[in-house]
């Protein structure tokens, strides 16, 4: 579903990705972990075609996403707690997003149900907890039923009880075998419970690839 081959990316002289390669297979839940500054965000921005690599190749669903913009429709992206307009309701946010993406309006109901936010959908965002905003963000990424989900720190800055809810949702997503998921996380508990495989990145290099069991054995 995703193949990243030997990507190099520099900011001036600073190397952010140093010959990084990874692969996400169909239905797989993969986590990308590593300390701050390791290159996680840079890799995600390249996958979202927001930035071109200096060297190397990206393939998504067998295509080069920089050449075939249609591929972008197959990717749902969840960012770390988005800044939605505070006075719009959750439903309005999703309706707007569906419109922009050219996704049928009926999708809004489906994704609200998936994240269990139907009962709060008519409240303004300003009344939501961070966890609820995050659930709307996850709902947004699911509009149009993309086959790939990219999630940047989906559990960051959320209080434990809501974090539990997010984790439950991530588990529910993992069980959908037609969706491949790439998540970045600092939260080792999530990573251990959810990941089929883990990629560890350090100073722009992928320094470890394997299952959770492999990781526990090694470190």
Strand order in the sheet with 55-60: 14-24, 2-11, 55-60
C-beta of 179 vs 191, nearer to ligand ADP: 191
Q: Does 157 bind ligand ADP (CB under 6 A)?
A: no
Residue count, binding to ligand ADP (CB under 6 A): 11
On the CB side of 163, CA atoms within 13 Å amount to 12
Q: Does 83 bind ligand ADP (CB under 6 A)?
A: no
Rounded distance between C-alpha atoms, residue 91 and residue 109, angstroms: 8
Burial 181-202 (b: 16+ CB within 10 A, else e): bbbbbebeebbeebbbbbbbbe
In the complex, what is the shortest distance from the CB of residue 139 to ligand ADP, in angstroms, rounded to a whole number? 22
Beta-bridged to residue 4, according to DSSP, are 22, 58
Residues in region 13-52 near ligand ADP by CB under 6 A: 14, 16, 34, 36-42
* Listed ranges 9-17, 81-89, 126-134, 162-170: which one lies at the site for ligand ADP (CB under 6 A): 9-17
C-beta of 52 vs 73, nearer to ligand ADP: 52
The residue ranges that bind ligand ADP (CB under 6 A) are 11, 14, 16, 34, 36-42
């Amino acid at each position: 579903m995703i193949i990243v081959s030997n990507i190099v990316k520099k900011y001036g002289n600073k190397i952010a990705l140093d010959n990084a390669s990874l692969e996400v297979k169909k239905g797989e839940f993969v986590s990308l972990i590593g300390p701050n500054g390791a290159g996680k965000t840079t890799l995600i921005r390249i996958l979202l075609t927001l930035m071109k690599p200096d060297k190397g190749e990206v393939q998504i669903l067998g295509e080069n996403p920089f050449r075939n913009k249609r591929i972008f429709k197959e990717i749902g992206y969840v960012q770390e707690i988005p800044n939605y307009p505070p006075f719009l309701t959750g439903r309005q946010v999703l309706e707007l997003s569906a419109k922009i993406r050219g996704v049928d309006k009926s999708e809004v109901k489906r994704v609200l149900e998936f994240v269990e936010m139907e009962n709060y959908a008519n409240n303004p965002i300003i009344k939501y907890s961070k966890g609820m905003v995050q659930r709307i963000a996850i709902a947004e990424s699911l509009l149009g039923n993309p086959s790939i989900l990219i999630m940047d720190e989906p559990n960051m800055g959320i209080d434990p009880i809501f974090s539990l809810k997010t984790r439950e949702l991530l588990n529910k997503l993992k069980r959908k075998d037609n969706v491949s998921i790439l998540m970045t996380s600092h939260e080792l508990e999530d990573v251990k419970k959810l990941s089929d495989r883990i990629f560890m990145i350090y100073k722009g290099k992928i320094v470890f690839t394997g299952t959770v069991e492999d990781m526990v054995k090694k470190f």
